[in-house]
Amino acid sequence: MLQDGMLGVSLLAGGANVIMQLGRPEVGYGVLESRVDSGNLFKHPLKRTRTTVTYLAVAVLGTDADRAAYRRAVNAVHAQVVSTEASPVQYRAFDREFQLWVAACLCHGVEDVHRAFLGRPAPESWYAEAAVLGTTLQVRSEDWPDDFAAYWADGLAQVDIDDRMREYLTAIANLEFLPRPVSLLFGRFHRFITTGFLPEVFREQMRLPWSAADQRRFDRLTRGIGRMVERLPLRVRRFPYDACLADFRRRLRKGKPLV
């Protein structure tokens, strides 16, 4: 089930997933040029992270009513994300094509969690279940590709990371959006984990070297972490997703902002 991939340890793959999403220029520049200050990772890293984790929790673990409420909240923000005449590419956050790409990256990320941390492929049913990652926003159920592998290959062919976007994404890989002591302590490790979770086309465009020895080290590390995680109670394994879902429902009841 898709819920099996909702493990707290999956956040280690988050940097790679952001790079994959933003590797499509229309998505990347939509984030880079966004005028929604509250969603700026480099200005509000904890809030931005909470918003993303809450979205995943609501989409996968929530009810239809939860998803509808979060969709309305996110739509109010996305309405402000549109390109200008000065933008290098044209984008609009409501574009279903690019929302589908983001959802596909999240879907691919769940598969990565199964492979790297759990040491097994995702169940066959999960591709269909993963449509909720897109339909929680504007993606229609009929938009979800029947042949995900073919859709993913076509999407990879459209990845184009220019110098400006590479600089921005490299800063994310190095944790430069966090206080300097944190980035100095953990930036190198995060960059290694991020590179390990990236498909080769992204490593090439990000100019991130990766060797066979790096891959062996990555596999040992992630599987070792996975074995420890599997011994934990479900409530602990799934933190912070359950906590973010509970916080979302509390905010909804009290009429507080959801994003």
114 band by pLDDT with thresholds 50, 70 and 90: confident
Domain assignment of residue 7, yes or no:
yes
Residue 100's nearest CA partner among 155, 28, 149 is 155
Domain assignment of residue 259, yes or no:
no
User: Mind listing the pLDDT tens digit for each residue in 87-112?
Assistant: 999 999 999 999 999 999 999 998 89
Q: For 259, how many CA atoms within 13 A lie in the half-sphere containing its CB?
A: 20
Cα dihedral 202, 207, 211, 216, rounded to 10, equals: -50
Range of the domain at 85: 2-254
Count of structural domains within the chain: 1
What pLDDT is recorded for position 39? 83
Cα dihedral 71, 90, 29, 201, rounded to 10, equals: 100
Query: From the CA atom positions of the chain, what is the Rg in Å?
Result: 18
Mean pLDDT of 121-148: 90
User: Mind listing the pLDDT tens digit for each residue in 21-75?
Assistant: 999 999 999 999 998 888 899 999 999 999 999 999 999 999 999 999 999 999 9
What pLDDT is recorded for position 37? 87
154 band by pLDDT with thresholds 50, 70 and 90: very high
> How many angstroms separate the CA atoms of 255 and 207, rounded?
45
Q: Is the pLDDT of residue 122 over 80?
A: no
Domain assignment of residue 145, yes or no:
yes
Is residue 183 within 8 Å of 176, Cβ to Cβ? yes
Domain assignment of residue 231, yes or no:
yes
